[in-house]
Amino acid sequence: MQQGRVLIADDDAVIRMDLKAMLEEIGHEVVGEADNGESACYLARSIKPDLVLLDIMMPKMNGLEAAARINQERIAPVLLLTAYSEAPMIEQATRAGVLAYLVKPFRKQELQPAIEIAMARYRELAALEGEVEGLQDQMETRKTVGRAKAILMERHGLAEREAFRRLQAQSLSMNKSLKEIADAIILADDLNVVKK
């Protein structure tokens, strides 16, 4: 069972109190409470909880809008606790990036599985985003190195393999990444073209 630091947002103080007691009974720490969506977003940004529990119907900003902001800023996973179970509401929650959804009234035994699923899905999404960024960096590096190789091949009449070997040698001797060396070659070539 995974414990976490939880932020609760519900405009009903009694529900917040009950939810806090329930969460603490199952081993979680409630690190913040809000009575509206705007405050929930502010607290989420400043506290950086492991999970945010939001009610949908709240003043100033509803739970769906707050969930969308929290998700967009990649602060924490969001679990919605609401009395609404209609399909359009669930679709809106999905679009807002909500990772789990519990319909009130719920039992303490239902809360922990929903929390664990939300936190696990959030970790998986973060890992996937990291992989995508890594792949984008690799693609950008390959493109840049390819352009630098082409410049070396044209300027010095080198074969592709020799141009790449020179890039690698320069990278090692200057203790710079291959991309940094390729960027420098491209910049020098661009400046040379401007001079002419």
Give the pLDDT confidence score for residue 1 in this predicted structure.
56
Which position has the higher pLDDT, 67 or 194? 67
pLDDT tens, residue by residue, 147-180: 888 888 888 888 888 888 888 888 888 898 888 8
Torsion of CA 7, 9, 12, 15, to 10 degrees: -40
Tens digit of pLDDT for each residue in 34-57? 888 888 899 899 999 988 898 888
Please list the residues that pair with 9 across neighbouring strands.
34, 54
CA dihedral 92, 95, 100, 103 (to 10 degrees): 0
The predicted model gives 61-76 an average pLDDT of 85
Confidence class for position 134, pLDDT limits 50, 70, 90? confident
Domains of the chain: 5-106 (3.40.50.2300), 131-195 (1.10.10.10)
pLDDT-based confidence at residue 196 (cuts at 50, 70, 90): low
- E strand segments, the chain: 5-9, 29-34, 51-54, 78-82, 100-103
> Which pLDDT score is estimated for 18?
86
Per-residue confidence (pLDDT) for residue 179, from 0 to 100: 87
- Entry pTM: 0.65
Distance separating alpha carbons of residues 39 and 57, to the nearest angstrom: 14
Q: Which has the higher per-residue pLDDT, 188 or 134?
A: 188
Span 138-151, average pLDDT: 87
Give the Cα separation of 175 and 9 in Å (integer).
50
pLDDT value at 93 more than 60? yes
pLDDT at position 195 is 61
Q: What is the pLDDT of residues 25-38, one digit of tens each?
A: 888 888 999 888 88
Give every CB contact of residue 116 below 8 A, 6+ residues apart in sequence. Answer: 1, 2
